[in-house]
Amino acid sequence: MISDDDFLDDIDAEQNEIEQVIDIEANELAEKEAQLQAQKNLLARKRIDELKEKKRLKDLLDDENDW
């Protein structure tokens, strides 16, 4: 027969396993979110660089002193 102490030990072990699984899943989710944010940041930086280059070229073409 199982004593009350043995039963409680089993519950604690199961709870620890569940917490470990939750921690792993939370870490994986955080990593995926970080990767998505990094990708968004990269795309935003690329777009900013493109707009700056476009403005620089426009300023060069519009410079009346060169003509």
Two tokens, residue 6: 């043995």
For CA atoms 52, 55, 61, 62, give the dihedral sign: negative
Q: Could you report the per-residue pLDDT of 53-62, keeping only the tens digit for each?
A: 999 999 888 8
Segment among 6-15, 16-25, 32-41, 52-61 with least mean pLDDT: 6-15
Q: Could you report the per-residue pLDDT of 40-51, keeping only the tens digit for each?
A: 999 999 999 999
pTM over 0.75: no
Rg (CA), the chain: 29
